[in-house]
Amino acid sequence: MPRWLIVLAAVCASAAAIPLIYLVARASEAGFATFAEILMRPRVLELAVNSIGFALAVTASCLALGTASAWVLSRVKLPGARILLLASALPLAVPSYLAAYGWLVWFPGINGFWASWFVMTVVCTPYVTLPVAAALRGASGDLESVARTLGRGPVRAFWAATWPQIRPAAIAGALLVCLYSLSDFGLVSMLRFQTLTWGINAAYGASFDRNQAALLALVLVVLALTVVTAERRVRGRSLATSGARAPLLRLRAARVPLVGIVLVAPVAGVLIPVFGLVARLVDAAAVRVIDPQRLVEALIATIGLAAAGAIAATLIALPIAAFAARAKGRLVSVIESLGYLGHALPGIVVGLSLVFFALAVVPVLYQSVIVLVFAYAVLFMPKAIGTTRSGIEAVPDSLTDVARTLGLSKTASWWRVTARLALPGVGVSALLVAIAVMKELPATLLLRPTGVSTLATELWGRTAVFEFGAAAPFAAALVLVAAVPAAFLSGIRGVAKEDL
Amino acid sequence: MRSTLAFTAAATAVLFTVTGCATSAEPGPDGMTSDNSFTLYSGRAESLVQPLIDLFEDETGITVDVRYGDTPEMGALLLEEGDRTPAAVFLSQDGGALGALSAAGLFTTLPDDVTSVVADGFTSTDDTWVGVTGRARVIAYDSEKLSADAVPTTVDAFALPEWSGRLGIAPSNASFQAFVTAYRVLKGEEAADAWVAAVAANKPQIFENNNAVLAAVNDGVVETGLLNHYYWFRQAAETGAENMRAQLSYPEVGDPGAIVNVSGAGILATAATDADALEFVRFLVSTAAQEYFVAETFEYPLTTGMAAPAGLPAIESLVNPDLDLADLESLEITQQLLSKHGLI
């Protein structure tokens, strides 16, 4: 492990620690007595319990639905398999608040835990489906066949032989789902389930009590660090197995229910909400003229910011991922956990922390694209750390050893062997970040240069005043443009692993 | 590719920095300076206020750089920026945010010719901000389930068991909290505590904002809801008034439920000598701007002598003589009350 890599990883992780520093500074202004008083409120406990219950329930259901979908997609011979794989990635393109809104069009009465749990599950399932499907395609089917011939049933054989091979991928995806469920505000506010993020927004909004908001956000930080630590414990390292890929099963009779499993997320997470939006568009008595120039400007800004955010987040995540893939111990644990922080905090907290940081350190760059892109990197680098790390982990040590015996230096062999082979993983990271940036709203509103609009901010500006007719083109453009990286994602996964 | 991007980003940053820092002009005799541009933070939506800003720019030749956001987030942003804010003027959706920023000492005092055109009770008491438009608190009801005369004329009715589960509120919203504060001021702390406790025990449906309350009433999800009047008119303009299932009822005169909330504007202390910012705030309380709000956003004009939008009760019938806007500043106690009964 080169020392410069450790230093670089620490520097990158400290970027993610900016929100934490800000929160501690704000919370300490409140003083310990206030801190204790607020923590003891029954309301805070209720919100924390709601957040924990919601995040765990969504994670469990995404894990189950995503793993089942991935298994069907990669182990069963299906007509139109490519299209199904593509469809399974599409819920990524729908922002959670848009999905909630679309469901409310059809079922205005739904609210509370179960409604939030269901809609959140269907929009987050691809975070598990895609990596697990890729891992399954790369995994050897030999062991499972052996288990079957030894008399194990299909489910037990899967558990015994295949699950250990896909576990790291599944758990890495589940971690993203869990952190996202903890930090999301748009969906739970629309579907009226009160979590800590609701409390944080209420503290900023009605009382302008930044100290109380900071305290609640710190509770969220503690929850998130617990989740990240737990994930490190149970993740394990992928067992590199070699052998033939599992043959595709021909389950003619079960085709319909199996395809049904795969379609739950795309239908409930994309089709139903998108049709809801279209219905509202048709409803609108005053269909406003679409301003094509604004649409195009917002589209260009969205794509540009997404590309810049993806590059920044991937670059910052790379040293952390490289370090975490090859090292063990407390230091790596701290650095990696810090890297995940941004994803567990609501966008408004990360946004305000960067307002604070930029004004204190680089006032010249305040309200510039640079600070905004940096905020995206802080928010979304966790999406890049996990996949990049798995990519690097999957490169066998023996290959780098060979390169070293051929006379390459440590750094050179890392660059020419590990980095090259891990490149598909890095690409996947970049795509995941790009999608997230396109959908991001609260931090963008706070940090964007005055006058710059993205598709998400344009959409927000119109729905806030009931102009659903005028909002629809922006919503449609957002889903369509975010579907492009999502489509790539469903493809690249397969290609990448098969190449290795 | 990467270097091009970095360059573009850096160039953009420099550009924004340059335009951000005012190219300062010579101060006039009154100590005011003008560079024919200023930055406005707007907590009100673009489609509502941009036409008005365009009008101002055409009339004066002053360029307004507008930053749009929700009022709460804009307020939090201004508090975080403190004296480093690029903003010269804050246009707020509600008086609560203006009060919070004023209490933090972020506003400068407005001159008398701006503040005196708005009647007392609809503006700040210390001239740190000025009221621009008024919104009446109303009861929205589902006209398919309730007849107009079955709708309570006082908010006290919602404390009765028969309204259990039939009321929608947005308790974390500033306008709801202003109403509860009014209740405390008018009826006393004990009565307010009893009312909030009874309403909470009635398990009201909790929403995040006024829009969501109205949408729920309009979709038949909840029978009644407490909100500001103009949300209904905004939605009626979008979907057609004849298609509105939700209808409005005004609580009787003197009821704590019948108060007027205001939107308003203040000039940041950092822009105390900015003549352009002052001209804009002066414009907001001019007849032209007030007429715009009446016609386009269905809000009450606040300058004396202007008529209410068609179809709305006169503002005088909604004004509570026993209530001063300054009384509504004890927001913290209201929040403790709502928090005690688990509503926020």
Shortest Cα–Cα distance, B29 to chain A (Å): 32
Q: Report the mean per-residue pLDDT for chain B.
A: 87
Shortest Cα–Cα distance, A38 to chain B (Å): 11
DSSP assignment string, A111-149: -HHHHHHHHHHHHHTHHHHHHHHHHHHHSBSHHHHHHHH
Q: Indicate if the pLDDT at residue A411 is higher than 90.
A: no
| Burial class of B327 by CB neighbour count within 10 A (0 to 12, 13 to 18, 19+) | middle
Beta bridge partners of B301: B133
Q: Indicate if the pLDDT at residue A281 is higher than 60.
A: yes
Shortest Cα–Cα distance, A57 to chain B (Å): 23
Q: What is the pLDDT of residue A494?
A: 44
**Which pTM was predicted?**
0.88
Q: What is the pLDDT of residue B25?
A: 52
Q: Report the residue from A109, A206, A457 with minimal CB separation from B172.
A: A206
Is residue A134 within 8 A of residue A496, CB to CB? The reply is yes
Amino acid making up residue A159? W
CA B119 to CA B123: how far, in whole Å? 7
Q: What is the pLDDT of residue A249?
A: 76
Residues within 8 A of B (CB atoms), A 427-456 only: 442, 445-446, 449-451
The verdict on a CB contact (< 8 Å) between B65 and A451 is: yes
Q: What is the pLDDT of residue A336?
A: 86
The verdict on a CB contact (< 8 Å) between A450 and B174 is: no
Provide mean pLDDT across the span A271-275: 92
- Report the chain B residue with the minimal C-alpha distance to residue A307: B5
Residues within 8 A of B (CB atoms), A 229-268 only: none
Q: What is the pLDDT of residue B20?
A: 42
Nearest Cα to A93, choosing from A148, A136, A51, A130? A130
CA A483 to CA A94: how far, in whole Å? 8
Q: Strand locations in A397-436, DSSP E?
A: none
Q: What is the pLDDT of residue A434?
A: 96
- Residue A285 near chain B (CB below 8 Å): yes
Q: Report the residue from A190, A284, A356 with minimal CB separation from B238.
A: A284
Chain B residues inside the 8 Å CB shell of A43 = 339, 342, 344
Cα within 13 Å of Cα(B318), Cβ side = 26
Largest CA distance in chain A: 74
The verdict on a CB contact (< 8 Å) between A352 and B76 is: yes
Highest mean pLDDT among A27-31, A393-397, B293-297: B293-297
pLDDT (tens digit per residue) in A35-60: 888 788 888 899 999 999 999 999 99
Beta bridge partners of B267: B89
Shortest Cα–Cα distance, B130 to chain A (Å): 20
The verdict on a CB contact (< 8 Å) between A208 and B69 is: no
Shortest Cα–Cα distance, A188 to chain B (Å): 10
Shortest Cα–Cα distance, B315 to chain A (Å): 23
Residues within 8 A of B (CB atoms), A 28-57 only: 41-43, 46
Give the lowest-confidence range in A36-40, B55-59, B245-249. A36-40
Q: What is the pLDDT of residue A497?
A: 39
The verdict on a CB contact (< 8 Å) between A465 and B84 is: no
- Residue A210 near chain B (CB below 8 Å): yes
Q: Report the residue from B20, B79, B234 with minimal CB separation from A466.
A: B234
Q: Indicate if the pLDDT at residue A470 is higher than 80.
A: no
For B241-262, letters b (16+ CB in 10 Å) and e give eeebebbbbbbeeebbbbbbbb
pLDDT (tens digit per residue) in B16-50: 444 444 444 556 667 899 999 999 999 998 888 99
The verdict on a CB contact (< 8 Å) between B48 and A465 is: yes
Q: What is the pLDDT of residue B1?
A: 39
Q: Report the residue from A285, A311, A363 with minimal CB separation from B240.
A: A285
pLDDT (tens digit per residue) in B281-304: 999 999 999 999 999 899 999 998
Shortest Cα–Cα distance, B284 to chain A (Å): 20
- Which one is predicted more confidently, B318 or A272? A272
Q: What is the pLDDT of residue B318?
A: 77
Assembly ipTM: 0.87
Provide mean pLDDT across the span B100-126: 91
Chain A residues inside the 8 Å CB shell of B46 = 461
Please tell me the total number of residues recorded for chain B in this structure: 344
The verdict on a CB contact (< 8 Å) between A450 and B84 is: no
Residue A161: band (very low, low, confident or very high) from pLDDT cuts 50, 70, 90: confident
The verdict on a CB contact (< 8 Å) between A366 and B84 is: yes
CA quadruple A146, A150, A154, A155: dihedral, nearest 10: -100
Is residue A89 within 8 A of residue A233, CB to CB? The reply is no
The verdict on a CB contact (< 8 Å) between B84 and A41 is: no
Q: Report the mean per-residue pLDDT for chain A.
A: 86
| Burial class of A375 by CB neighbour count within 10 A (0 to 12, 13 to 18, 19+) | buried
Q: Report the residue from A207, A311, A363 with minimal CB separation from B331.
A: A207
Residue A117: band (very low, low, confident or very high) from pLDDT cuts 50, 70, 90: very high
Chain A residues inside the 8 Å CB shell of B205 = 111, 192
Chain B residues inside the 8 Å CB shell of A468 = 238
Task: Count CB atoms within 10 A of the CB of residue B102.
Answer: 19
Q: Indicate if the pLDDT at residue B4 is higher than 80.
A: no
Shortest Cα–Cα distance, A321 to chain B (Å): 21
- Residue A214 near chain B (CB below 8 Å): no
Shortest Cα–Cα distance, B41 to chain A (Å): 9
Nearest Cα to A383, choosing from A325, A321, A448, A454? A321
The verdict on a CB contact (< 8 Å) between B243 and A205 is: no
Provide mean pLDDT across the span A437-458: 93
- Residue A298 near chain B (CB below 8 Å): no
CA A305 to CA B207: how far, in whole Å? 33
Q: What is the pLDDT of residue A243?
A: 61
Chain A residues inside the 8 Å CB shell of B234 = 465-466
3-state secondary structure (DSSP) of residue B64: strand
Q: What is the pLDDT of residue B66?
A: 95
The verdict on a CB contact (< 8 Å) between B234 and A465 is: yes
- Which one is predicted more confidently, A497 or B290? B290
pLDDT (tens digit per residue) in A308-337: 999 999 999 999 998 888 787 888 888 888
The verdict on a CB contact (< 8 Å) between A451 and B67 is: yes
pLDDT (tens digit per residue) in B61-86: 999 999 999 888 899 999 999 999 99
- Two structure tokens written together for B287: 């007849």
Q: Indicate if the pLDDT at residue B224 is higher than 90.
A: yes
Chain A residues inside the 8 Å CB shell of B221 = 108-109
Q: A–B: how many Cβ contacts below 8 A?
A: 160
The verdict on a CB contact (< 8 Å) between A368 and B12 is: yes
Instruction: Name the helix (H) or strand (E) containing B185.
Output: helix B174-187
Chain B residues inside the 8 Å CB shell of A469 = 238
The verdict on a CB contact (< 8 Å) between B208 and A348 is: no
Chain B residues inside the 8 Å CB shell of A189 = 208
Q: What is the pLDDT of residue A136?
A: 85
Q: Report the residue from B13, B48, B72 with minimal CB separation from A369.
A: B13
Distances (CA, A) of B102 to A477, B119, B266: 40, 19, 9
CA A368 to CA A449: how far, in whole Å? 5
Chain A residues inside the 8 Å CB shell of B86 = 366-367, 450
Shortest Cα–Cα distance, B12 to chain A (Å): 7
